[in-house]
Structure 1
């Protein structure tokens, strides 16, 4: 067994990149129409199964109908062995949400499930309702089923899907405790290159996988039967079957189990949430980063009111986006601030210093005595504008 990184066993995204993604976008309108049409077909098939009495003809009709609705084409590989009708347990790798339907179509098997559907529909889909509360109860139910039926049971010891490109999940031993002989089966699938959407992705939702089956024009499954394996020791048998399936897929076995996948999904989701929060934070912060235009406006207000801190001016300008309105807000006392000291204020030019000193001296005498607040504000604005005009040599413009 090779201890490879678990992230190599799964696809983070089901969608391709590059020109293949562009082709998927071009195909999008057709895919959506197909999804809608196939959903209607599924609904009709469900109603037919619920209304009509169970029969072999109805089961065959429902099987073909769902193959169309899911866009599934099943082919049995001519390079493999024949299905051994004497073997009651079929072991396969897990690649998609519809593996049970594929195995039922190719090998006439049933897969244990918790779903309680009409008999005709269950048989058409290849699922058999069983008690799956724990392993021992399930094994007992399977043994009872195969003793009373000629139908084989299909089991997937990985217990969850992989991309089947790097390695298998470690096979669970309990499916090999049912009978000492099993027939391994290798599942593979392809989709058209122009709409190369993966069968599943990490942390994918089951109904989204189904929708993707309906979205693409078709999905071709290849079922390859391998030689029957026999061994009374379940722990030896599981490793032999696991090795055979991996070799036929030209991939490796691994020590990763379904529990490791569950933990990896948990970490993946937490990482996605963390990245999303960081991205939202960056976007939020970027919204308050002043643009060059805002910085220019801050300098204009600062030249008129040099004792007002820059951060106070910036905060109000981000709201008003207007120099005159911000100046008025500061002079009216709407915007409160603590005046900057001379050491923290950007030094104005020498001419501005002289003018500002003379203005302060003028304000210290009785020239403003008797003026109303509006008159004082107008006088301050006028003097501030004169300083701005003088600094930028705008008198003759």
Structure 2
């Protein structure tokens, strides 16, 4: 396994260079007309799925309509194995926002989702609403679904799309704990030479990827079924399937995970903003002000919870924008962290200079007798009182 950088797994730009870029510009008016037409068709399909009752004929109509809307053509590789129905779980690499639709068309599968679409439209897209609040809940629901349905489940353990040119993201193990028999599927896609637009790019959103599907005249997906893999050891099975798919694509496996990709995309966006130059001074100024305010809020949280690392506090504040909510998240265990070591210099010297004072047993009993919510409320109240006295605030 070679050392491949995470950026090699992603497309920095969606657009080609040279004469191919010129041809894209020439094609643009046609592409925009196609987008408008396909959006109109998409609206009609939505209305059909909402008004008409769910049935097989409606799902067939929706499937064909969606194939036109997205401009997707699905083909099975000539060297492909046959679809083996013994494997209820199929595993595929992730290359686009519409892989679920492709897998549903080629392998009669659905992919777990949080979507609230009408049943017929959701099924036509290859999605199945399931409880995704936790991994254990999802695994349980998938097993129940397989027991009560003839439709198979498709999972993509990379959990994020890559270009599949250099290497795969490291597969997550939990999809392989559902069943011991897996059929790997290899997905590849291409667009016409004169509109050679990439399926995805760094930090792109799913809806922008879908819009470019509508812009392109068509996208050909090639599906290749591999021989089924069996192993009761999920840790062994995941690596076997990962290597099998990588070998079929003639690329490598990697140690990069979806978290590494997310972090790289964040850094990439920040660097882009910083390198825009003086023309964005107003944006930079607002970012500096926001950063100062965020640091002030982080200090307030640190005064209440001094053992929580500063970067952990900042990360949650970026989501909540609220000191009290962040404190509650940390106390409730929603935010996990490794406590920082308590400062020893001042505390140790003070402990040597002062005699040890025994803590009354009644105080310990009263503290432990408090419920979790009471301790949390008491801690917050004491911290607020301390903060008000420190800054000389009144009427708070």
Per the alignment, residue 301 of structure 2 pairs with none
Per the alignment, residue 92 of structure 1 pairs with 92
Q: Map of 1:199-218 to 2, 5 A cutoff?
A: 199-218=199-218
Question: What TM-score comes out, normalization by structure 2 length?
Answer: 0.70
> What are structure 1's unaligned runs of at least 5 residues?
282-397
1:226 aligns with 2:226: yes
Query: Equivalents in 1 of 2:110, 2:245: separation in Å?
Result: 20
Q: Map of 1:199-348 to 2, 5 A cutoff?
A: 199-277=199-277, 280=280
Query: Equivalents in 1 of 2:197, 2:131: separation in Å?
Result: 34
> What are structure 2's unaligned runs of at least 5 residues?
282-396
Query: Equivalents in 1 of 2:93, 2:277: separation in Å?
Result: 37
Q: Decide whether the 8 Å contact of 2:158 with 2:168 is kept in 1.
A: yes
Q: Decide whether the 8 Å contact of 1:73 with 1:221 is kept in 2.
A: yes
Q: Decide whether the 8 Å contact of 1:146 with 1:152 is kept in 2.
A: yes
Give the secondary-structure state (helix, strand or coil) at the position aligned to 1:81. Answer: coil
Per the alignment, residue 289 of structure 2 pairs with none
Question: What TM-score comes out, normalization by structure 1 length?
Answer: 0.70
Per the alignment, residue 109 of structure 1 pairs with 109
Q: Decide whether the 8 Å contact of 1:2 with 1:255 is kept in 2.
A: no
Give the secondary-structure state (helix, strand or coil) at the position aligned to 2:189. Answer: strand
Query: After the TM superposition, which of the residue ranges 205-214 and 90-99 deviates more from structure 2?
Result: 205-214
Per the alignment, residue 68 of structure 1 pairs with 68
User: Once the 2 structures are TM-superposed, how far is the Cα of residue 117 of structure 1 from its aligned partner?
Assistant: 1.3
Give the secondary-structure state (helix, strand or coil) at the position aligned to 1:210. Answer: helix
Query: Equivalents in 2 of 1:63, 1:97: separation in Å?
Result: 16
Q: Decide whether the 8 Å contact of 2:186 with 2:249 is kept in 1.
A: yes
Per the alignment, residue 14 of structure 1 pairs with 14
Per the alignment, residue 153 of structure 1 pairs with 153
Give the secondary-structure state (helix, strand or coil) at the position aligned to 2:277. Answer: helix
Aligned length: 281
User: CA offsets, 1:366-385, max 9 Å, x none?
Assistant: xxxxxxxxxxxxxxxxxxxx
Give the secondary-structure state (helix, strand or coil) at the position aligned to 1:199. Answer: coil
Q: Decide whether the 8 Å contact of 2:27 with 2:195 is kept in 1.
A: yes
Query: Equivalents in 1 of 2:278, 2:2: separation in Å?
Result: 36
User: Once the 2 structures are TM-superposed, how far is the Cα of residue 87 of structure 1 from its aligned partner?
Assistant: 1.1
Query: Equivalents in 2 of 1:136, 1:25: separation in Å?
Result: 48
User: CA offsets, 1:377-397, max 9 Å, x none?
Assistant: xxxxxxxxxxxxxxxxxxxxx
Q: Map of 1:40-79 to 2, 5 A cutoff?
A: 40-79=40-79
Per the alignment, residue 35 of structure 2 pairs with 35
Query: Equivalents in 2 of 1:39, 1:79: separation in Å?
Result: 36
User: CA offsets, 1:111-134, max 9 Å, x none?
Assistant: 000001111111111100001111
User: CA offsets, 1:313-351, max 9 Å, x none?
Assistant: xxxxxxxxxxxxxxxxxxxxxxxxxxxxxxxxxxxxxxx
Query: Equivalents in 2 of 1:5, 1:162: separation in Å?
Result: 13
Q: Decide whether the 8 Å contact of 1:15 with 1:197 is kept in 2.
A: yes
Query: Equivalents in 2 of 1:50, 1:126: separation in Å?
Result: 17
User: CA offsets, 1:6-25, max 9 Å, x none?
Assistant: 10000011011111111000
Per the alignment, residue 321 of structure 2 pairs with none
Query: Equivalents in 1 of 2:139, 2:215: separation in Å?
Result: 37
Q: Map of 1:167-186 to 2, 5 A cutoff?
A: 167-186=167-186
Cα-Cα RMSD? 0.9
User: CA offsets, 1:127-170, max 9 Å, x none?
Assistant: 00001111111111101100111111000000000000000000
Per the alignment, residue 346 of structure 1 pairs with none
Per the alignment, residue 142 of structure 2 pairs with 142
Give the secondary-structure state (helix, strand or coil) at the position aligned to 2:213. Answer: helix
Query: Equivalents in 1 of 2:2, 2:169: separation in Å?
Result: 11
Q: Decide whether the 8 Å contact of 2:86 with 2:181 is kept in 1.
A: no
Q: Decide whether the 8 Å contact of 1:31 with 1:215 is kept in 2.
A: yes
Q: 1:279 to 1:242 in 2, by over 3 A?
A: farther
Structure 1 stretches of at least 4 aligned residues deviating more than 2 Å after TM superposition = 277-281
Q: 1:279 to 1:163 in 2, by over 3 A?
A: farther
Query: Equivalents in 1 of 2:16, 2:133: separation in Å?
Result: 38
Query: Equivalents in 2 of 1:280, 1:24: separation in Å?
Result: 29
Give the secondary-structure state (helix, strand or coil) at the position aligned to 1:276. Answer: coil
Per the alignment, residue 188 of structure 1 pairs with 188
User: CA offsets, 1:284-305, max 9 Å, x none?
Assistant: xxxxxxxxxxxxxxxxxxxxxx
Larger Rg: 1
